[in-house]
Structure 1
């Protein structure tokens, strides 16, 4: 695959991840992902997270999602979270299917929105919910 093909593939995956973000925006809960402690619609947030995870549950393994989560939960500041983005790109590149890659790119998009300590703590809770829903819905 040449560089142009790789860029087109990344753009395609980013487009798919954007569509997932739009699903959260449609019901006005996207910003709540980064402010769970202040959210007045936690049920809607977690219901949408479950829908998202259910859609991709069998495209990424439990160990892959746990590896991502275990790295994120240890992060202490937003700079270290941002430094994890290349690791996610590597994980996405190793996936065999577009659904797994889209799932990983969506996580990368969320990371890009985290800019404060409070948002980091909310993001960790979001990742915890993703792991829990994945465990519940995945067949692997």
Structure 2
């Protein structure tokens, strides 16, 4: 369950450090920055079709810069104002590659995610250790 607030949460599930985020958070790289070294970031969204290119690109950007898997879950159909939503739910790997999706129909994605993919990427590029990325 999501509740409003100004703090972030990271929790562990079966050895994976998970960071839940919501729709608009995706637009703010510093808010999403992976200080807790989460392995998996999950965005639940209500992203409209008119800006779906932003959704697709930002999911990939957050995965690359945070060196983590990203799951983006977006709605389908029309909202109460008639605004269209076309899904594009996806799982993105730490290199920015689509593991599944983007889906444009209702359904469930299944994927086996390999945590060693994250460690290999983090060993090659020490982005999360960069001094310039640490908050003051």
Same fold, judged at TM 0.5 (above): no
- Higher helix fraction (1 or 2): 1
- Higher strand fraction (1 or 2): 2
TM-score, length of structure 1 as denominator length: 0.29
TM-score, length of structure 2 as denominator length: 0.29
Larger relative contact order, structure 1 or 2 (CA cutoff 8 Å, min sep 6): 1
